[in-house]
Amino acid sequence: MDTPVNTPALSRRGFLIAAAGTGVAFSFLTACETKEAASTAAAYEPTQWYAIDNAGIVTVNVIRAEMGQHVGTSLARILADELEAPWENVRVKHVDSDPKWGLMVTGGSWSVWQTYPLYSQAGAAGRAALIEAGATALGVDPATCTAVNGEIVSGDKKISYKDIVRKGGLTKTYTPEELGAIKLKAVADRKLIGKPVTSVDIVEKTTGAAVFGIDAKVEGMVYGRPIIPPTRNGSKANSVDDSAAKSVKGYLQSVILEDASNTVPGWVMVIAETYPAAKKAADLVKVDWTPGPTANVSEKDLQDHSTKLIAKADAGSVLPTGNTDTSAAFRSAASSIEATYTTATALHFQMEPVNALAFQKDGKWEIHTGNQWQSLVLPWLAKALAVPETDVVMRTYRLGGGFGRRLNGDYAVGAALAAKAIGKPVKMILTREDDTKFDSVRSPSVQKMRMAFDKAGAVVGMEQHVACGWPTEVMAPFFMPKGEKDVPFDPFAISGANHWYAVGAHKVRAISNDLANQTFRPGWLRSVGPGFTNWALESFIDEAAHKLKMDPVEFRVKLLTGEGANAGSAPNAVGGALRQANVVKLAAQKAGWGGQLPDGTGLGLATSFGQERDMPTWVACVARVNVDRGTGNVKVEKLTLVADAGTII
């Protein structure tokens, strides 16, 4: 962050502990002080992703949001391993928005998987440049040099990264083509990847020093709490009666927000000197609204609409899964099975309610908030504020939980519009109730499953039809791939249905529930598509095994042949279905599948894979469950989980 913010004040106890620790540190440093001269040499930046300063400190620029998953540590470890940097010299900087970073998004379990090539190449490039510069400084042939733990070594000669930077003259940079050609370390030579290290931010997180969006403050700011309209879309605030709110000490005003981006239609922002005052006053303000057309739509209405859409043979998009014409397979089938599965609306309930601080400074709008997809919300902010995107900067903070909610940064628009309306910095915080009302929920879904068998019981055809609200269609249509006949589909509402099982003709149809899209703003939640598509799939696989009177594990392994398209693809998903079969067999073995169990106790297995087929992850879980036949109480006694996640960082 470039703009200073005030972090929460230390408690008296915290101050005394900190002061005592500082005294010890000062005493120790004084006793051990060295006379090394300060250097003014500029830091060396082999790529934009990191810099090495004249003290040997490596600062890694991270564009992924930190929300408890230690993504900074993971990505810095990838880079530092290739760079041969001592871990104690590595720092992480979660950068603010800037076009130079490209796509800034943290979601879908993509961060490590998709950033690995970029950061490993960047680290290796720096190592190569330092070897070249170190060889020059030592007066030796670069071919005789190796990089070892922050030093370039040639025989009995060596020079540290710090001293190389201090000598200056390091200007070597790399084109994308050169980075792609860089030779990476052999797996056996890795020192940080897959090894135990201390997370770089563990002290901040455990002492309370970490600054979250809800902690951001600037001089002269006021607080805002929105009054959420009756519908997510189409509501209009006609008038505001704040007469009762004027009795609240610190209450300032209520503002009807005018939103050209249509992100927060119908919002009224209650402004006060303190957040408690804004919170209390908002409960007293009365708003006359004209609600949107979906005010009376129920969960049942949404599910019924999905069912009707599935019944329309030409609705939706058919995914390119190979042979998608299942009609012949079902016509000639000796038997078949069919089932329908539904899931309900799911909320995020992340620990930190959404919030944002917005203000204009030196002609630029600054938005201080925790966010998972800066590249998505920046255009909304620019449109709402009627300024170019280059005049909006999103400052980065820790997230108190994301789970996909903060991929949709709609809440930042409300704070920005309020700040523009009153001409002051506005810190907006939603209450837990507000956050729930305004959540970008995962849509309810309806899924129709069909499977066809020949006379020998072999699977010859399968269909999975999924209807639900599409978050990507509503918020990021440019992110949607195309299915057959060039019909686009939302991958995050269907992924998981294009599974690794060999089922003959295979039809997967994704259908957008337009009523759901109008009723709320569908959101991404954790595993996104597989969160409900794979649940239906695995439930249906069990039903199919039961119909065939086959063991559920045996049935799954039989279908995970690893042939054809299910063989997987390089570089990430090599092995494909065979790797999934392996985790299934291993989980079953470790859980004692097929062994003797007490009365009322049973085992059940489910298996899944990464959000997309090219993601290098396969998992299987066996649940040992006991049912008390007298009371009907169900107790999960043990879960046995096996995961193949490729390279473990």
Residue ranges per structural domain of the chain: 41-207, 213-291+352-437, 299-346+441-538, 568-644
For 31-42, the pLDDT digits (tens) are: 344 556 778 999
So what's the pLDDT on residue 15? 32
Give the Cα separation of 166 and 53 in Å (integer).
8
List alpha helices for 332-399, DSSP H. Answer: 374-385
Could you tell me which residues are beta bridge partners of residue 391? none
* Assigned CATH for 41-207: 3.30.365.10
CATH topology for 299-346+441-538 is Aldehyde Oxidoreductase; domain 4 (3.30.365)
* 213-291+352-437 and 299-346+441-538 in the same fold: yes
E strand or H helix at 160, and its extent? strand 157-160
Q: In 262-373, which residue ranges form alpha helices assigned H by DSSP?
A: 275-282, 299-311, 327-331
Ranges of residues in the chain with a pLDDT under 50 are 1-33
Q: Report the greatest alpha carbon distance in the chain.
A: 87
Contact 306, 446 (CB under 8 A): yes
Q: What was the pLDDT predicted at 29? A: 35
The hierarchical CATH code for the domain 213-291+352-437 is 3.30.365.10
DSSP conformation class of 186: P
Helical ranges in 255-409 per DSSP H: 275-282, 299-311, 327-331, 374-385
Query: Which amino acid is it at 35?
Result: K
CA dist 339 and 327 (Å) reads 17
Q: Do residues 225 and 270 touch, judged by C-beta distance below 8 A?
A: yes
CB-neighbour burial class of residue 293 (10 A; exposed 0-12, middle 13-18, buried 19+): exposed
**Global pTM?**
0.92
